[in-house]
Amino acid sequence: MAVVSSGGDFGNGESDMKVAEPLMIEPTIPRFLASNDEFILPVSIYNKTGIDGEVTISLKTSDGFRIFDSSKQSVHVDKDKEAVVIAWYPKAFTSGCTIECKSLAQNGHLLKGLEVAYFMASVDPLETNKEFAEENDADFPLLSDPSKSVAEAYDVLAFYGVPKRHTIYIGKDGKVLFVDRKINSSTSAEDIAAKLLELGIPARQAS
């Protein structure tokens, strides 16, 4: 409702106003880039249609940019946005990071039963993280941020150039719920599941 006045006269009016589309896609572009930089383009999908479905995202670039991976990707989007967990780790194939990855790979069932999407992330090159995931039988995404822009945005980049071992919990509304700075790599999956329950993340409903 809007209320207006002119001199001593007042009036009001009321009408429906669309402030967002039922399905919205929001890319997060780095604020600064230098020549030859490589970066991941995170995309948030907001589904308020009330139904599950498949969404195909296409990416086109202007002169000066090159896409290294597929320019088109289809993803399943649930009708309600899930919570998100991003487990940042310093470097692929190192001891602690390997233990953490194996914990999530071997005990992922503890997380799959909750309404959450979970990832590990580092600043390693994409090919390195692909090999790291394959070697540890990871059945969840490992994200690569070689430009370090996303790590900087999440304030997890250490002064020596690699991420701190921090796990970030993000609610369905996109707000950070908790940042865990004390990680036990060997019990990563169990600890994440316990923290999600503590934060009130519900169990996934059977389809």
Structure confidence at residue 17 (pLDDT): 44
Give the alpha-carbon dihedral of 117, 122, 127, 131, to 10 degrees.
Answer: -70
Structure confidence at residue 30 (pLDDT): 72
H/E stretch holding 194 reads: helix 188-198
Domain ranges of the chain: 19-198
The CATH number given to 19-198 is 3.40.30.10
Give the bridge partners for 144, in sequence order.
Answer: 122
Structure confidence at residue 18 (pLDDT): 45
Q: Is 84 helix (H, G, I), strand (E, B) or coil?
A: strand
How far apart are alpha carbons 79 and 204 in whole angstroms?
13
78: nearest Cα among 102, 96, 51: 51
H/E stretch holding 23 reads: strand 23-27
Per residue of the chain (207 residues), give pLDDT as tens. Answer: 555 556 666 666 665 544 445 566 777 777 777 777 777 777 777 665 556 777 787 877 777 777 776 667 777 766 557 899 999 999 999 999 999 999 999 999 999 999 998 999 999 999 999 999 999 999 999 999 999 988 998 999 999 999 999 999 999 888 899 999 999 999 999 999 999 999 999 998 775
Model pTM?
A: 0.65
